[in-house]
Amino acid sequence: MLAINMSASFVSVYLYQNGYSIQFIATYWVGFFLFKTLVALPAAKYAATFGPKHGILLSNILYIPSMVIFAFVPEWGIPAIVIAGAMQGLSAALYDLCHMIDFSKVKSVDHAGKEIAYMNIVEKIATGLSPLIGGVLAFVAGPQTTMLAAGLLFALAAFPLFKTGEPTPTGQKLAFRGFPWKLAWRSLVAETAIGFDGLASSSAWSLLVAVSVLGIHGDNQVYAQLGALLSVVLLAALAASYVYGTLIDRKRGRELLRIAVMCNSLIHLSRPFVGTTQVVAGINAANEAATTGYAMSFMRGMFDTADLSGHRITYLGCIEVALNFGAMLSATSVLLFILSFGPISGMKSFYFLVAAVSLLIMTPKFHLYRK
């Protein structure tokens, strides 16, 4: 997580700084998430055949050259963007899917909320500190150095995987015959909305803040500023994770999901009016608290559905497809708004659509929350 977030938040800003337009960057997002949508089921097949641990290992190996190639975008141009983006997309799809399979298999049924909270706390420490570390490193030594450092961290992260066993049987196959679509379809629609919301809260928001609030100049100061603004979420995320985990284990996950989604929607409505770094920091912290709330409660319901479905890897593979399809729809919407209203106005107007679409996240009727 440290390696992913050291560079992921800055890739779009890095492209803009190297002369690529916001319209081009939005088009890149569309292609990137379309590719991830297409490779999600092959990634699930790989996890079923070789196991999720091997999938995470392959993900780490793929991410390293993608970061190295991204560092050469100023010299190689679009070919570097396409090759690095494809490798990064496959790596991210494999990691997300295999991580979910791993955790859904080893979790405790009675204390899953607490376990999700602990996992979230560890991840949020990494995701809270990594933009600051990456931003300062990019400011001091250039964004290429940050990407190379992220590649090195991925190599180090692979070592523990050699000492662990597979949590699921290998040699499995994806099985769509007999798949319980009636049980799963609402969560797949909601996951599509999560993907739509995710792009809006991450890459699109970072680029909008960098361009309209911070200003991108010839130096690399914007990376340090953006990293600091992204890292203010740390305390909010740590406090929220433990409280939310307790609520989930006390059977209040459905209420948490609904309240967090509504708060998240209101936060999106406020984004177009942001003009200062102080307000950006406040929105980032509030968004992290809301996103953590719906993500943890949704994840608990999703893992229960995976258990009930009898098709764990197939179901979570479909979840990964839905997530990236939603992100692709989000990127396509950004592009259409930019073409209609111009780069800045278009991106700001886009958030009114996000506020509406994100409400779909609270629509699944998880069996767990009916009890």
* 167 domain-assigned: no
The predicted-structure confidence for 14-33, as pLDDT tens digits, reads as follows 888 888 999 999 999 999 99
Is residue 16 one of the residues assigned to a domain? yes
In a domain, 164, yes or no: no
pLDDT more than 90, % of the chain: 36
- Does 334 fall in a domain? yes
Domain count, the chain: 1
Long-range contacts of 19-22 (CB under 8 A, 24+ apart): 21/343, 22/207, 22/211, 22/338, 22/343, 22/347
28-76 pLDDT, tens per residue? 999 999 999 999 999 999 999 988 888 888 888 888 888 788 878 888 8
Q: Higher-confidence residue: 274 or 338?
A: 338
- Whether the pLDDT of residue 323 is over 80: the answer is yes
Best CA proximity match to 201, nearest among 363, 350, 6, 28: 350
Residue type (1 letter), 188: L
Query: Does residue 166 form part of some domain?
Result: no
Query: Which CATH number characterizes residue 214's domain?
Result: 1.20.1250.20
Q: Within 13 Å and on the Cβ side, how many CA atoms surround 103?
A: 24
CB-CB contact of 20 with 211 (8 Å): no
316 in a structural domain: yes
* Distance, CA of 251 to CA of 126 (rounded, Å): 28
Q: What does the pLDDT average to over 284-305?
A: 88
For the stretch 116-167, pLDDT in tens is: 777 777 777 776 666 667 666 766 776 677 777 777 777 777 777 767 777 7
pLDDT of residue 8: 64
Does residue 260 lie within any of the structural domains? yes
Mean pLDDT across 223-251? 72
Tell me, yes or no, whether 51 lies in a domain. Answer: yes
Task: Please give the residue range of the domain that contains residue 317.
Answer: 2-159+180-370
Distance between CA 346 and CA 369 in Å, rounded? 38
The string of DSSP codes covering 282-315 is: HHHHHHHHHHHHHHHHHHHHHHHHHHHHS-HHHH
